[in-house]
Amino acid sequence: MKLSVRGEYALRALIVLGLDYGPHVVPIHTIARLQNIPQKFLEQILNDLRAAGIVESKRGVAGGYRLKQKPEQVTLAEVIRYIEGPLAPVSCVSERFYDRCTCPDESKCGIRSVMKEVREAIVKILESMTLAQVCERVRKLQGEQANVWDYVI
């Protein structure tokens, strides 16, 4: 698994929404400015996250985005799988996106065996890590006095 710029931007946008979680919305231009993300690209990403049921939007002058679920309910695995696809480094070890590899016998392939362990480690971490936990890390890294809008990952 390699996190693309799209995946990184999705996580950064969600952290902005997680740090400011509540009933109000955050304007897209604010997220774009705070995270130095091109607004048109961010619009596409947030539309995908809306289709996934992770965020919701409000149209109009006072429009913007907010998390649809509590930050404690959103796992990094859920977001990354939706934006990037499989968490597995090779498709022959993916549980959700399996595709036969080119080796002669999967059951005796040493590379596949190692990559399966890599996938299991990645999945274990990303499925147990919630957006709320990442937001808490951001707060700790910045100190308690940090502005909700002043951070980077």
pLDDT tens digits, one per residue of 36-84? 999 999 999 999 999 999 999 999 888 999 999 999 999 999 999 999 9
What pLDDT score does 95 carry? Answer: 81
Residue 153 pLDDT greater than 70, yes or no: no
Name which of 132, 23, 32, 135 is nearest 68 in CA terms: 23
Residue 150 pLDDT greater than 80, yes or no: no
Q: Does domain 1-74+130-153 have CATH number 1.10.10.10?
A: yes
Ranges of each domain in the chain: 1-74+130-153, 86-129
What pLDDT score does 123 carry? Answer: 94
Q: Which of the four pLDDT bands, split at 50, 70 and 90, describes residue 145?
A: low
- Express as a percent the part of the chain with pLDDT over 70: 93
Which two structure tokens, joined as six digits, stand for 144?
């308690």
**Integer Cα distance of 139 and 123 in angstroms:** 25
